[in-house]
Amino acid sequence: MPFSPLSRLSRRPAARGVAVLLASLLALAACGGSSENHPKGSTVQVKAGDKTCEVATVSLPAGAHRFAVTNTGSQVTEVYVYGEGDRIIGEVEDVGPGTSRDLTVELAAGNYQVACKPGMQGAGIRSALTVSAGTGS
């Protein structure tokens, strides 16, 4: 049987495990730089409290936008972006008190609502959001 470095690895379980781990890490690292994970567009700050939902802007250009949600309240909360007829465009759930999470959505021109749901119940505290034709930069 001819000698190969892989045949040597196959006889050593620990070395084989290291090789698999390294291959996995390389595969994961290759996924990190994708523009799909970091879309261009604006970042909209949202402060979700127990009785408030402060959205930093009420109008945006069409395109991809990141809503940076910070829970300033004492309850776990969730934040939704709704389209017409309460159609869910995007959501972020289980945002614990004092923590932050991001919600990224692609918005076409139209009227939307941002809803914070303290305690993850009810219709939420809503703010109107208007998206105009054009693209975010």
pLDDT for the residue numbered 112: 98
Say how far apart CA 31 and CA 117 lie, in whole Å.
33
Contact, 117 vs 80, CB < 8 A?
Answer: yes
Contact, 18 vs 42, CB < 8 A?
Answer: no
pLDDT in tens, 69-111: 999 999 999 999 999 999 999 999 999 999 999 999 999 999 9
* Domains in the chain: boundaries: 1-31, 42-132
Residue 77 sits at φ, ψ, to 5 deg, of -135, 170
pLDDT for the residue numbered 114: 98
Architecture of the structural domain at 42-132: Sandwich (2.60)
Residue 128 above 50 pLDDT? yes
Burial (CB < 10 A; 0-12, 13-18, 19+), residue 62, is middle
pLDDT for the residue numbered 29: 34
